[in-house]
Amino acid sequence: MAQKQKTTIKDVARLAGCGIATASRVLNNSGPASAEVRERVEAAARDLGFSFSAIGRALQGGRSMTIGCLVPSLVNPVFAEAVQGVQETLAGTGYQLLIASSNYDGDADNEAIATLVGKEVDGLIVTMVAPDRSAALKQARARGLPVSLMFHDPLEGFVTAYVDNFEAAREVARRFAELGHRRTAFLSLRFSSSDRSRNRYAGFHAECRARGMPDPALIELGAAEANTPEVLAEILAPLGGLTAIFASNDFLAIAVQKAARLIGKQVPGDLSVVGFDGIEIGRLLDVPLATIETAPEAMGRQAAQTLLDMLQGKACTQPPPLPFDFRAGATLASSRTGSRDDDQVAPWPPSVHSLKTDLKQG
């Protein structure tokens, strides 16, 4: 069958006819050894197919050479790309990635952090529902564990790799305003469980106000609704006068396009749509999606680099936000309704909450 026996450095030493310390020194190049012994040890290691046990090393050295990473979901390409960026940066440094995902659940978040810490990770790269309220995260830091945040806006006492969600959202409002849009909506999934969505709404709202536009309607969706264009269509249909929607992420924006088609609205003729994130697939649509393009992979790289710096004891100051870009696409056009007076025609609902908000709070 198989040699269930793990070969240890002891076996190597025995076969090479030397002490384990010598074997260790040879295999690690960490001390003196005669060419003769060196030869024997290396041969023995090769013959036995020996490789070090990371566990023994970790126990002895106090470092596990493992980084814990927590993201809400790996299925969301934004986070998948970020993790990819982390992997890239960590590759070759000797650190391995222990990955957990929370499925956007604040409790699972906390538990995952605790488990990661239990695994003796040397550092944490984290995107969670509410990092500011996580007891486990606080405890991890109390233990002296370096923590690097991703996607979160700056938070007291943490270093984070992020884009300025507020500013990016203002940019969208600006574009809408310049094209004559007045009545807008902000569409979001799990609004209450994401500081990113909140900040995007805040920026969008602020700029709309600054431009004298009516407050955007706030539409919150449950996960089920977002995946069913038919339901989304029903929600959008009654919003007469609406000419532009800012979706908190690209998937929602694509769903809006689909829903608009269902109720006979042209995009962008009747309805302009702008997304957020800049996922690749948006480019490939028949009507390419206008969106705020971010660089999740760069975010992962920066977060990882920050953590590596911390692990080396370097000072860790908050870097500036990563850049974003407005991608024009083809889902944004000027508003057809020229009149500005229609503000008075019908009251504009400031907030539309969908019924099935079965969301877990962080």
> Which residues 202-231 are close enough to bind a copy of itself by CB under 8 A?
227, 229
State which residue, 18 or 145, has the beta carbon closest to DNA.
Answer: 18
Tokens of 43: 């041969």
Q: Does 51 bind a copy of itself (CB under 8 A)?
A: yes
CA distance 25 to 31: 5
Shortest distance, position 94 Cβ to DNA, whole Å: 12
Q: In sequence order, what DSSP letters do the residues of 68-94 get, joined into one string?
A: EEEES-SSSHHHHHHHHHHHHHHTTTT
30, 32, 36, 142: residue in contact with a copy of itself (rule CB under 8 A): 142
Shortest distance, position 295 Cβ to a copy of itself, whole Å: 13
User: Buried (b) or exposed (e) across 14-48, using 16+ Cβ within 10 A?
Assistant: ebbebeeebbbbbbeeeeebeeebbebbbebbeeb
Q: Does 18 bind a copy of itself (CB under 8 A)?
A: no
**Pick from a copy of itself, DNA, none: which does 20 bind, CB < 5 to 8 A by kind?**
DNA
Interacting residues toward DNA by CB under 7 A: 6, 8-10, 17-22, 24-25, 27-28, 30-34, 36-38, 52-53, 55-57, 59-62
Residue 83, number of CB atoms within 10 A of its CB: 23
Asked if residues 69 and 98 have their Cβ atoms less than 8 Å apart, the reply is yes
Phi and psi angles of residue 332, each rounded to the nearest 5 degrees, phi first: -125, 125
State which residue, 25 or 170, has the beta carbon closest to DNA.
Answer: 25
59, 210, 328, 346: residue in contact with a copy of itself (rule CB under 8 A): 59
What SS3 state is found at 150? strand
State which residue, 1 or 355, has the beta carbon closest to a copy of itself.
Answer: 1
**Pick from DNA, a copy of itself, none: which does 142 bind, CB < 5 to 8 A by kind?**
a copy of itself
State which residue, 287 or 352, has the beta carbon closest to a copy of itself.
Answer: 287
Shortest distance, position 180 Cβ to a copy of itself, whole Å: 26
Shortest distance, position 142 Cβ to a copy of itself, whole Å: 6
What SS3 state is found at 253? helix
CA distance 331 to 285: 10
CA distance 326 to 320: 19
> Which residues 111-130 are close enough to bind a copy of itself by CB under 8 A?
114-120
Q: Does 291 bind a copy of itself (CB under 8 A)?
A: no
DSSP 8-state symbol, 136: H
Alpha helix stretches (DSSP H) within the chain? 9-16, 20-28, 35-48, 54-61, 77-90, 106-118, 135-142, 165-178, 195-210, 223-226, 229-236, 250-262, 281-284, 296-311, 342-345
Q: Which residues bind a copy of itself (CB under 8 A)?
A: 1-4, 6, 49, 51-56, 58-59, 64, 66, 73-75, 77, 80-81, 83-84, 87, 96-101, 114-120, 139, 141-144, 227, 229, 254-255, 257-258, 261, 280-281, 284-287
